[in-house]
A and B are shown apart, each in its own frame.
Chain A
């Protein structure tokens, strides 16, 4: 059972306090998009062995959504940040670069 810190209210809590919401930083495709674009948006997901960016909601707490950068193998949590962004904060990316040289995730590295 993971421990996560909600960046919105500052509470550090057990996983049961939160609810996972799948991959972070998806770009929404709506009417006008091609079948390929729309299906990729709806169904195609990263499944990395290593650094991953995912969505969480502090569902039994402040109710806010946030993102977590986490290693799917070691369960290390590199950091959490509010969901209202298109890109993880630069200091977090720098921290991951230090710990995992050469990592890649979609267009991030």
Chain B
């Protein structure tokens, strides 16, 4: 069983007890524990179930590479799934729940998958669940959905109770990793005076050195670590942070740091996580190395752990993974674990060393001297046990697994060698080379990520660079730091001298499968990826089925695709694949390392951008009035526009109906301030607008307005609006509400990059004016009541505009109509908008002046057959589709989109064209409904011949009306076509003109 050892624990204070709960069970840990060490101290070997087969799983590692011990942490508004027990610092009141089991961790019905394992081979999703077709919906999908997913999603209605922030930071040399290499690099770089930033992901400085032994400057590494960090903290040019992980390295020295401020102290004030957005001239990755598991049958049974993790738990937390621990290794380093446990008084039944006939190195000699049984050239045939290890069967590594001996034990410490943590080096394109002697990929300094100047900006130091002896680590860190300082333009006059000493080691044996000739049954129990349940046989099967690329094998088997991104499994899986393909490991290559290094919280990514701060809201000068009068808001771009104004006891539909009828019968008022307004001015402005619009704008007379269409160079309709000619060289272009910024940018792009010699100036003046639509039979009456300028039919005819005053306000009145009513749009300086609005309401009271919202606006335009950008258009529609040929100049040689509209597909007579649709039963067609043709296509889907683009209940006509695009539509007036409904049935509609109301324009021409 795993227990707390009576003495020791360099990171813990056993005088301070910490209470926590696991699956509802009250447990006790001590100050300084991680959740993982506390669970082990309580003999909680079983901590979760695997993803696919729901196999029992225990803690494997001691750091961020942990694949199994993922927890649901906290509750309510602070609930969070998939948190690693190994990187979760214990605090009083912590609540953790294990994942992937039902109904309980100890008894899991899903584990029935286990015996079914042979029916779930690599790529089983792609193979098994295809036939018969109908099984997918009712049998396969529900089964997969029930089994799939790590952890539990937080309740969708719960808002994260914590706060998060972003922090911008600029530095010369950024060092990621606060182990010996990082500290040495920091003190060398800091001595030059350049700005140095040092980040460490854990709560402790020093990395592995204090656990692994050796000396620095002839002292315990802990002493040197403490002195060095203390000195760095005193220096004004140095910033250091613990609990801050280098999450990703990006182009040109951009780095994300992920600082966990209060995860270990939830009662503390301030943000929970802080995302550091760093710009560094030089980045040094001193990110260490990760130990590799070995592949043998039963290597996933709880109690089988990385040798380094077993050592960490013993030294750092005084926790024994077992009373009797078998060590299995292909290298010397695992002997340190045996010696550490032995020194703590724990039993080491044997060290199983796959290397045959190697001479005793100092570590092997020490183990021998301690009286530990060493079995060389041996392997583990299989691990015995279910929910925990009960023993191992020993065999010859060279054979196929014939049993030589059974050894009882309750823990297995395995070591397959070390892999440098090259993730951050690789994020921005750093390349790797294969070190055959140490059997690992290490950074290739000749092919480093480069910055804006084309020079390297990332380097690795220490174990991350492939160095493992203390002196080599220190030398490498010193050299790397000196180079980085030079790159920043600094220099170091006095170098801090640091001497390291660690024991020399015998070479490792690259062993990727144990024993070498393991039978299929055994290989099918040898796990590569613990989190995604990928076995040696899965990768071998993928190779047999023709998956030669490591990237394809990864996706087919899901190897390395879990939340740990294959930190433990990548190299082992790659080696198995290479072997199966008969190729060298470097020839097969690695998969791509992508940020973040470990998952970071969504909260930290959002930072302060949540709630009201997520996005600024644009408000018109009349916004407050709308708010106070029942506005039912609709977001339009960053604006909020009233969809309608609800009166007490009124539904949205009733409000819309009332607004339409009041406008048609008497007087409606619309806040049209959000419409885009762009001034285009200059000697070449007319020529320019002739290129921008499909119509001729240069011939527009001063004082007149013209409806214009804008297309992309691809010919597609992009925006529309009314253009007014203000004076000889000035035009004012109205755009859609959502289009103002886009169209202004579009104009500027062509002016700056194509016709830069044309003398034209543009300005987006949208927010300079408030604009009010005064609409309806009484529109003229209310304006005349305000008095000032002549708004009569002759003085201000349809499609004219005039400057003047109304009720004392300086205004520009446009006689334009989007509703078919007698209509004026009155523009005033923005600061007078609200006053004019109030004045119009007051003066209009006798005419039942009724403010209306966007829905009434939409209905009235549809009743008149006016198109709406975004409804009738979707980026694939040309003006000709919409019967807008009248707005396309035939005289102009050129305009944006003209050439595209001559292409064969654009002139195809079979393009769907705009019509009106009237259901025979008067009902409202569903949005997006399709007009059904006859027969079916190659996929067995019904052939369609058109679709609805706008559909409304028309209060004016008392029935459903719709606009839509239909094959040969304009030639088919009077035809009846079936349109589908969401319930699968169809409804018949008559093809009619899209102008449903007042086709002769009698209402507006008064």
Interface, chain A (partner B; CB < 8 A) = 1-3, 14-15, 21, 28-33, 35, 38, 42, 55, 57, 59, 63-65, 71, 74-77, 83-84, 99
Contacts and interface: CB of A to CB of B under 8 A. Distances in A.
Nearest to A21: B749
21 contacts: A2-B252, A3-B279, A14-B254, A21-B749, A30-B898, A31-B898, A32-B899, A35-B904, A42-B900, A55-B753, A65-B749, A65-B752, A71-B454, A75-B251, A75-B429, A75-B452, A76-B450, A76-B451, A83-B752, A83-B756, A99-B454
A31 B251 contact: no
B455 to A, nearest CB: 8
Most chain A CB within a 10 A radius of its CB, from B454, B713, B753: B753
A1 B898 contact: no
What 10 pairs between A and B have smallest CB-CB spacing?
A76-B454, A84-B756, A74-B450, A1-B254, A65-B752, A3-B252, A83-B753, A30-B894, A77-B452, A30-B899
B254 A31 contact: no
Contact of B752 (A71, A76, A84, A99): A84
B251 A76 contact: no
Most chain B CB within a 10 A radius of its CB, from A59, A64, A75: A75
Interface of B: 250-254, 279, 429, 450-454, 713-714, 745, 748-749, 752-754, 756, 893-894, 898-900, 902-904
Given A59-B745, A74-B429, 11 more contacts: A1-B251, A30-B899, A33-B899, A35-B904, A55-B753, A65-B752, A74-B450, A75-B252, A75-B451, A76-B452, A76-B453
A29 B899 contact: yes
A59 B753 CA distance: 14
Contacts of B745: 57, 59
Most chain A CB within a 10 A radius of its CB, from B756, B898, B899: B899
Contacts of B754: 28
B903 A38 contact: yes
A16 B894 CA distance: 35
Nearest to A38: B899
A33 to B, nearest CB: 6
Given A42-B900, A71-B454, A65 B753 contact: yes
Contacts of B429: 74-75
A13 to B, nearest CB: 11
B182 to A, nearest CB: 24
B629 to A, nearest CB: 36
Nearest to A15: B251
A55 B748 CA distance: 14
A74 B457 CA distance: 11
A1 B252 contact: yes
A75 B428 CA distance: 10
Given A31-B902, A75-B252, A2 B753 contact: no
Nearest to A77: B452
Contact of A74 (B454, B713, B748, B894): B454
A75 B902 CA distance: 40
A30 B753 CA distance: 16
B450 A75 contact: yes
Nearest to B893: A31
A3 B450 CA distance: 13
B395 to A, nearest CB: 49
A30 B756 CA distance: 17
A68 to B, nearest CB: 10
A77 B902 CA distance: 39
A76 B748 CA distance: 28
Nearest to A65: B752
Contacts of B454: 71, 74, 76, 99
A84 B748 CA distance: 13
A28 to B, nearest CB: 6
Contacts of A59: 745
A1 B898 CA distance: 38
Nearest to B715: A42
Contact of A42 (B713, B752, B898): B713
B252 A57 contact: no
B836 to A, nearest CB: 32
Contacts of B253: 3
Contacts of A65: 748-749, 752-753
Contacts of B254: 1, 14
Contacts of A42: 713-714, 900
B900 A38 contact: yes
Nearest to B902: A31
Contacts of A2: 251-252, 452
A32 B894 CA distance: 9
Contacts of A57: 745, 749
B250 A1 contact: yes
Nearest to B448: A74
Nearest to A24: B753
A87 B756 CA distance: 14
A84 B900 CA distance: 25
A87 to B, nearest CB: 14
B254 to A, nearest CB: 4
B252 A63 contact: no
A55 B753 CA distance: 9
Nearest to A85: B756
Contacts of B452: 2-3, 75-77
A92 B429 CA distance: 26
A84 B251 CA distance: 28
A28 B429 CA distance: 36
Most chain A CB within a 10 A radius of its CB, from B253, B254, B452: B452
B453 A31 contact: no
B431 to A, nearest CB: 12
A52 B713 CA distance: 23
B965 to A, nearest CB: 24
B903 to A, nearest CB: 7
Nearest to B256: A1
B748 A63 contact: yes
A106 B331 CA distance: 55
Contacts of A29: 899
Nearest to A12: B452
Nearest to A39: B903
A51 B965 CA distance: 46
A31 B252 CA distance: 43
Contacts of B894: 30-31
B984 to A, nearest CB: 40
A35 B752 contact: no
A50 B454 CA distance: 12
Contacts of A75: 251-252, 429, 450-452
Contacts of A31: 893-894, 898-899, 902
Nearest to B450: A74
Contacts of A64: 752
Nearest to A5: B452
Contacts of A1: 250-252, 254
A28 B897 CA distance: 12
A33 B902 CA distance: 11
B267 to A, nearest CB: 36
Nearest to A4: B452
A28 B899 CA distance: 11
Most chain B CB within a 10 A radius of its CB, from A28, A64, A83: A28
A21 B769 CA distance: 31
A79 to B, nearest CB: 11
A7 to B, nearest CB: 13
A75 B748 CA distance: 28
Contacts of A71: 454
Contacts of A99: 454
Most chain A CB within a 10 A radius of its CB, from B250, B429, B454, B756: B454
Most chain B CB within a 10 A radius of its CB, from A30, A38, A42, A99: A30
B215 to A, nearest CB: 42
A43 B900 CA distance: 12
A33 B549 CA distance: 45
A59 B454 CA distance: 25
Nearest to A83: B753
A57 B900 CA distance: 25
Contacts of A14: 254, 279
Contacts of B252: 1-3, 75
